[in-house]
Structure 1
Amino acid sequence: MGFIITSYGLMKEIKGGMIYGIVFVTMISWFRGTSVTYFPNIPLGENNYKYFKKVVDFHLIKSTAGAVSFNNFNTSEVWVALATLFYVDVLATTGTMHTMAKIGGFGNDQGGFEGEYLAYLVDAGSTVVGSTLGVSSIATYVESSAGMREGGRTGLTAVIIGLYFFISLFFIPLFSSVPPWALGPSLVMVGVNHPG
């Protein structure tokens, strides 16, 4: 259903068509006792449902912020992980930024785009700062294409999305209860409409 709603919204060029599909599937998945519920009658489902009912919650990152240690840094596992994350992050960032530049019409004749060097610096700096705060790897997100698909073409789009992300920090019980199958159709449609 989410795929159909999202497809129909894109076909009819309805603003926010992707969001409607996500919201519909999420709302259906929040009902308990159905075959598609996000809160099945198992211990994990019960725990998720208890957390969901809080609606508003905020966790400090005091247990992970600044918890940097270089003990046992010189082991092969650490270097393999570091090389893997570096390789994956560089490839993901490159693919995402060049795809977004192509979608937005910002590409140049040489295959690059204006501000490319600065964009890599921002991504790398964010990764370093995020690591010292103890969060997972920071990466340029391909979901930007959804904003561009809806008409966003300036940095103001990113600022508004950033503000929404900040507000969402306080509603983690709700947003962490959005099932993966609600997001999948939108990401598939982004890939179908804009092959990288």
Structure 2
Amino acid sequence: MPPRAPSGFLDRFFHLTERGSNLSTEIRGGLATFFAMAYIVVLNPLIIGTAEDVDGQTLGIPQVAAVTALVAAISCLLMGIVSRYPFAIAAGMGLNAVIAYGLAPLMPWADVFLLVIIEGVLLLVLVVTGFRTAVFAAIPPGIKTAIAVGVGLFLALIGLVNAGFVQAGEGTPVQLGDGGLNGWPIVVFVLGLLVSVALYVRKVRGALLIGIVLATVVAILVETVLGNGEADGLGWSLTVPSLPTGVGDLVALPDLSLIGLFTEGGGDVLARWKEIGFATVLMLVFTLLLADFFDTMGTMVGVAYEAGLVDDDGNMENTRGVLVADALGTVLGGVGSASVSTVYAESAAGVGEGARTGVAPIVTGGLMLLATFFTPLVSLVPFEAATPVLVLVGFMMMTQVVNIDFRDPALGIGAFLAIIMMPFTYSIANGIGFGLLGYAFVRLVQGKANQVHPLLWVISVVFLIHFAEVPIYALIR
């Protein structure tokens, strides 16, 4: 029987039928992605909104929450329309810490976000010139697969840590919970994971989203009856679930006063950067650029593999569209005073629900736009209810490891390093860097340096500089 022909503008534009999807599946996927990443509307303000700049000024939690949701909304809409892939985009975790604790102590917030805009423009230039797409194509398929697997493990670790299932240990780097699985929030997490796994195994449509909703309901009931409170031992790790008591707990007008803050620096920006040291400023921009560049690439590869949207060489159609939307998202993050934007690995939650097209991030973006008014409602879902999905998605992405040829030492060692270094260093970019360095080094030792794409040698040198930036900075300061 011949495949069904596309019907309607949306179907043709987003390739719904071609990719084996439909509108209801995409909407469900967009919902799942939103709930899996909605924590950023709460967490980014706690990092960016509370950090002091060089003048001791803070941006404020409500203001940062509003612009975080707004920038994510516009960026997701751009991603859906420009790339037509199921990738959601928002303020990047880790990158926001670099901004809050690396840039802000050295300069006013206005200058910080000016640097973010500059970084976004540089990313856009790299895309327009074809360099960023060329780097993507130069990475061997086996390493691309390893990146996807590494992102899956990283995602699972994020879920376990955010739920309090894995914590920093006393005398060991990590441990199980606080020494054991104690407290009702952990019970909610385990219940959410078991329900999600059961529904997934039974091939129930909406399994991940149903798991999040059911776990949230249980969390609200537990908190209402037992009143665990905030994270002070056995409490909830970030948001405390509770029933709304009035309209004010559901909706509020967003404070968007931070938009355009980068224009309010006043005086001579270059003079201020000269006082800090241009070498310092350049190194900070380089760090943001490198992390953003490869975080997006790694997440894009991982989610695309999971969605079956890559060819036999691990390449995608319209990679350029994804990267353009990502760069524009970072520019928007600077203009809106939110943070550097990046593609979210939590997009895999939507893919797990069947999302395959740009309709899903448009749905996610629409919900993010609503979230600017419904920040209290978004905060209703605790980490412990949303993070089981991340663990399950990690498993889904892990299954791709069978496609890596570990009999080839270069691919095997490079893949191994890429996979383990992402969760172990809590950085997708670091994992990619060590994976590419390992691959290039073994090919060199094998006497097969000519099998390494010239661009990978360039990237390897860049990563070496990045990993050695502290001693390099000490030499040039």
TM above 0.5, yes or no, is yes
**How far did 1:77 drift?**
5.0
Q: Describe the SS at the equivalent of 2:261.
A: coil
Residue 60 of structure 1 is aligned with which of 244, 255, 275? 255
Give the number of the structure whose alpha-carbon radius of gyration is greater: 2
Residue 358 of structure 2 is aligned with which of 144, 155, 180? 155
Distance 2:321 2:196 in 1: 34
The answer to whether 1:99 aligns with 2:289 is no
| Structure 1: unaligned runs, 5 residues or longer | 41-46
**How far did 1:156 drift?**
1.8
| Structure 2: unaligned runs, 5 residues or longer | 1-190, 233-238, 401-477
**How far did 1:136 drift?**
2.3
Task: Give the match for residue 27 of structure 2.
Answer: none
The answer to whether 1:3 aligns with 2:3 is no
Instruction: Answer whether contact 1:3 1:185 (CA < 8 A) is retained.
Output: yes
**How far did 1:184 drift?**
1.4
Task: Give the match for residue 32 of structure 1.
Answer: 224
Code of the residue aligned with 2:226 in structure 1: it is T
Distance 2:392 2:216 in 1: 17
**How far did 1:35 drift?**
6.2
The answer to whether 1:166 aligns with 2:369 is yes
Task: Give the match for residue 44 of structure 1.
Answer: none
Distance 1:177 1:39 in 2: 15
Code of the residue aligned with 2:361 in structure 1: it is A
Q: 1:147-179: CA deviations, max 9, x gaps?
A: 222122222222222222222322110212321
Instruction: Answer whether contact 1:29 1:36 (CA < 8 A) is retained.
Output: no
CA 1:103/1:73 → structure 2, altered by over 3 Å: closer, same or farther? same
Instruction: Answer whether contact 1:57 1:170 (CA < 8 A) is retained.
Output: yes
TM-score of the two chains, using structure 2 as the length reference: 0.36
**How far did 1:117 drift?**
1.8
Considering fraction of residues, name the structure with more helix.
2
CA 1:38/1:6 → structure 2, altered by over 3 Å: closer, same or farther? farther
**How far did 1:143 drift?**
1.8
Residue 190 of structure 1 is aligned with which of 384, 387, 393? 393
- Aligned-residue sequence identity (percent) comes to 27
Question: Number of residues paired by the alignment?
Answer: 190
Q: Which moved more, 1:24-33 or 1:107-116?
A: 24-33
CA 1:34/1:86 → structure 2, altered by over 3 Å: closer, same or farther? farther
Distance 2:310 2:273 in 1: 40
Q: Which moved more, 1:23-32 or 1:122-131?
A: 23-32
Q: Superposition RMSD on alpha carbons, in Å?
A: 2.9
Q: 1:114-136: CA deviations, max 9, x gaps?
A: 11122111101110122111112
**How far did 1:28 drift?**
2.9
